[in-house]
Structure 1
Amino acid sequence: MSTIVSLNKALTEFYDKMASWESSVVRESEYSLAQIHTLEVLGNYGAMNMKSLANQLGITTGTLTVQVEKLVKLALVKRQHSEDDRRSITVALTEAGQAIHEHHNALHLSLTEDLSKDFSEDERHTLMALLNKVNQEF
């Protein structure tokens, strides 16, 4: 088997396992995966305008509008008109949204610690460098 075929198989298996883990974690909460991902992006990057947030999530602004409306009703995010451009809407986490983000992020950190517990510090740095390169391709 060629290296690229083996790499493809390993990446696919890793993605499937991560997706399964993420689904099981979200299933235990009262929020959808899409809602958690929206909170995750806002928690990681801070308040964003709708277009930037939609781009970061890889969804349309129409889909995001529906998503944000649900999160506003749950008091997890708030919408504000931009001070620079009143037509532009900025979305930010509320305290409740921040708390959910922090809890979910702690689960990710715990998984990362578990997955890399047998790695040397050099292996962790190498993995981080390779993942950063892969992420730049997206």
Structure 2
Amino acid sequence: MPETTQLTQLIVEFYEKLSSWEHSVVRDQGLTLPQVHALEILGTHTALRMKELAERMGVTTGTLTVLADRLEKADLIRRRPHETDRRSILVELTEKGHAVYTEHDQLHMQLTRDITVGLSKDEQTSLVLALEKMNKEF
């Protein structure tokens, strides 16, 4: 079993490489990382309350409002009143926003294929199990 120092170094190195890749992809799309993060969350959920989206992103509702204003101006999201809760605003992807989300998601899929191509099926299964356990710790 690897010692904690080695494991820490490998996790940090992977994070740095993944972050660098993500920043370069996002920059090519003309968006910020938080904007793409919002699109990713909305792409996996149909519509969310602004408060729910802010919580999932780990930002305040004030920060999200500024971000949502920019995404709405770019026609990537739309806000609408909640059907049953007059105090809530729902946010969802527009057609253009869904297209950006789909394109970005495909880039993630290709990256996954590229970085796991050298892993056997058993190694891929082990990686999935390890990542699931690690994600539960957050």
| TM-score normalized by the length of structure 1 | 0.95
Pairwise CA distance, 1:18: 0.4
Structure 2 counterparts to residues 68-79 of structure 1, below 5 A: 68-79=68-79
CA offsets per residue over residues 49-106 of structure 1, 9 Å max, x none? 1111111111111100111111111110011111110111111000000000000000
What residue is the counterpart of 2:16 in the other structure?
16
Q: After the TM superposition, which segments of 4 or more aligned residues of structure 1 sit over 2 Å from their partners?
A: none
Q: Give yes or no for the alignment of 1:50 onto 2:50.
A: yes
SS of 2:114's partner is: helix
Greater mean deviation of Cα atoms: 29-38 or 10-19: 29-38
Tell me the secondary structure at the aligned position of residue 29 of structure 2: coil
In structure 1, distance between residues paired with 2:69 and 2:90: 13
Q: Extract unaligned runs of 5+ from structure 1.
A: none
1:81-120 to structure 2, matched below 5 A, reads 81-120=81-120
Q: Does 1:67 align with 2:104?
A: no
2: CA distance between counterparts of 1:31 and 1:6?
34
TM-score by length of 2: 0.95
Amino acid in structure 1 at the alignment position of 2:112: T
RMSD: 1.0
**Separation of aligned partners in 1, 2:24 and 2:30:** 12
Partners of 1:10 and 1:18 lie apart in 2 by 12
| 1:27 to 2:27 alignment | yes
How many residues end up aligned between the 2 structures? 137
- Following superposition, the deviation at residue 46 of structure 1 comes to 2.5
- In structure 1, what residue type is equivalent to 2:61? T
Q: How far apart are 1:45 and its partner, in Å?
A: 2.5
